[in-house]
């Protein structure tokens, strides 16, 4: 399935110096930091948290809410939605960019494509109610959420931010409603106003999105100001993510006239911020603007610059021109909202390696959200394989050195998880834990449940581990909120790396699906101590 269509740039930039780009791995410190605390804001080219610490968003896109399903894709798979988020967090993705269309926000909107055996807790919920659950669970992990208005309707991408059926007033009012819905929840950090505004029509009869042209019906920079300021009037703590256009004029060059002297410098849809330096987005609240270009490989379109004799040494100059200068000149932060590849060719592999090196290493590097988690992206494929469970290790290996894993309890003000502790201790007395078991669903040949274990001892369990037994013939199918394994009749749920400590008084809920006759966990223990 191809979630969006593309316009490629027509003109490649002058080649950079022909020296090879050296790919270096980041230092070990790149793997620390999480996503900070409280709401985020900007300072020069950095994103910083409420305490002034620099934050690097290293995230991923999980699409589907912008399609006819009106909710996340992959909920039809055998991998529960929580387990998918667990995997994203454990791999190091600390931010989730969530594309949606205005159709998904309408009263009476229905979410489809949900496996009710695997995700019974989502059955009957509206698209927004499912989003609420994802926001809450991601927040417990310390992940952040960026909402992306991807399309006016599920029908497809549009050059402008409005259509006859979805006017600008609806676009803005829907954004204000979302800002009000998540007010006070620091997991949701901002609005990506509209996905990939781009050129349409042949110059001089341009009808697409321009940058700085002054036409209020087409100037994306002015529209971003109107929407951004309306959002900030409701929620002044949000970041406003503004994408580029494709061609600053908003129209396509006449490539058939044989005269290239006047042809415009165009880039990827949403990827051309070359005019943002001269015509910056002006927001009513200072330190809230993040520019968010898109960048793609040959699996999306074979741009002329991929054929340069000095490729890939020519690429940094191209990135500098379109958007990198904003970061390098300390004008504003960069958060690459989309970039991806099938990785089917060596050209693409080199592109991804060099692009990641260009973003910089450690917490001071540029932020990004990779496209995509979904394997069903026709343009790029995903980090998840077709089973929505196993991982494309070739892609992950290139991205891994630049990922900064979330830290539980860092972002959300609701349902906070305890922060990891550096001490190592276990509940040492009988009855030092309390359990609650809930069977969520059952069907012929299997069942789903969740086991909540509270540490009632006086010391943290770090790292925590929960064990239980099942009757012979009951086998584990999947688990989440922990690394869940089976040996004989014994099940072990080991603490995930992002949340190893279970503080005194705190609880952890381990979810699972199993094959066989529905059976409650027996002989439940927390770090070897029996639970009551």
Q: Catalytic amino acids? A: 196, 338
Query: Helices 81-91 and 127-140: crossing angle, nearest 10°?
Result: 40
CA angle, 437 then 411 then 171, to 5°? 105
459 C-beta neighbours (distance < 10 Å), count:
17
Number of H helices, E strands in the chain: 8, 22
Strands 483-487 and 490-494, bridge-based pairing? antiparallel
Give the list of residues 6+ apart from residue 9 with CB closer than 8 angstroms, or none.
246, 247, 265, 266, 267, 268, 271, 272, 303, 304
DSSP code string of 99-162: EEEGGGGSTT-------TTT-GGGTT--HHHHHHHHHHHHHHTT-EEEEEEEESBTTB--SSS-
Closest CA to 220 of 265, 264, 190, 250: 250
Burial class from Cβ neighbours inside 10 Å (0-12, 13-18, 19+) for residue 416 reads middle
Query: H or E stretch including 394?
Result: helix 393-399
Q: How many CA atoms lie within 13 A of 381 on its CB side?
A: 17
How many CB atoms within 10 Å of residue 436? 12
Give the other-Cβ count within 10 Å of 332's Cβ: 24
Residue 137 token pair: 């669970």
Residue given tokens 């290239």 in the structure block: 260
């Amino acid at each position: 399935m191809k979630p969006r269509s593309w316009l490629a740039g027509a003109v490649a930039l002058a080649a950079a110096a022909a020296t090879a780009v050296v790919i270096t791995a980041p230092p070990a410190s790149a793997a620390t930091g999480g996503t900070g605390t409280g709401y985020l804001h900007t300072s020069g080219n950095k994103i910083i948290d409420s305490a002034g610490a620099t934050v690097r968003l290293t995230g991923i896109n999980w699409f589907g809410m912008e399609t006819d399903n009106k909710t996340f894709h992959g909920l039809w798979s055998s991998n529960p939605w929580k387990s998918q988020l667990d995997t994203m967090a454990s791999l190091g993705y600390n931010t989730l960019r969530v594309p949606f269309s205005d159709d998904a926000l309408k009263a009476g909107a229905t979410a489809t494509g949900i496996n009710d055996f695997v995700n019974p807790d989502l059955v009957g919920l509206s698209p927004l109610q499912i989003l609420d659950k994802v926001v809450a669970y991601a927040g417990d992990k310390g992940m952040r959420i960026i909402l992306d208005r991807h399309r006016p309707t599920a029908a497809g991408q549009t050059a402008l931010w409005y259509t006859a059926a979805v006017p600008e007033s609806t676009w803005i009012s829907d954004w204000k409603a979302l800002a009000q819905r998540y007010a006070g929840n620091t997991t949701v950090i901002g609005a990506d106003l509209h996905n990939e505004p781009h050129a349409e029509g042949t110059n001089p009869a341009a009808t697409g999105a321009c940058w700085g042209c002054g036409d209020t019906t087409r100037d994306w920079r002015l529209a971003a100001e109107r929407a951004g300021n309306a959002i900030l009037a409701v929620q002044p703590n949000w970041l406003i993510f503004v994408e580029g256009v494709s061609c600053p004029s908003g129209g396509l060059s006449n490539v058939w006239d044989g005269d290239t002297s006047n042809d415009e410098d165009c880039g990827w849809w949403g990827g051309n911020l070359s005019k943002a330096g001269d015509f910056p987005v002006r927001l009513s609240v200072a330190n809230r603007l993040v520019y968010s270009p898109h960048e793609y490989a040959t699996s999306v379109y074979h741009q002329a610059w991929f054929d340069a004799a000095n490729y890939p040494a020519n690429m940094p100059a191209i990135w500098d021109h379109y958007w990198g200068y904003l970061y390098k000149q300390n004008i504003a932060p960069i958060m690459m909202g989309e970039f991806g590849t099938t990785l089917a060719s060596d050209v693409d592999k080199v592109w991804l390696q060099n692009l990641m090196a260009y973003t910089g290493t450690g917490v001071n590097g540029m932020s990004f959200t990779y496209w995509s988690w979904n394997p069903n992206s026709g343009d790029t494929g995903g980090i998840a394989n077709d089973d929505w469970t196993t991982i494309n290790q070739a892609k992950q290996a290139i991205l891994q050195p630049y990922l900064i894993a979330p830290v539980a309890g860092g972002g959300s003000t609701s349902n906070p998880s305890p922060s990891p502790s550096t001490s190592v201790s276990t509940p040492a007395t009988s009855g030092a834990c309390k359990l609650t078991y809930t069977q969520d669903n059952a069907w012929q040949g299997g069942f789903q449940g969740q086991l909540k274990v509270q540490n009632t001892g006086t010391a943290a369990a770090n790292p925590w581990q929960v064990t239980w037994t099942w009757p012979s013939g009951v086998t584990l199918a999947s688990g989440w909120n922990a690394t869940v394994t089976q040996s004989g009749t014994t099940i072990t749920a080991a603490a995930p790396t992002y949340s190893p400590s279970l503080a005194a008084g705190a609880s952890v809920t381990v979810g699972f699906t199993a094959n066989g006759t529905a059976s409650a966990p027996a002989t439940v223990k927390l770090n070897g101590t029996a639970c009551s």
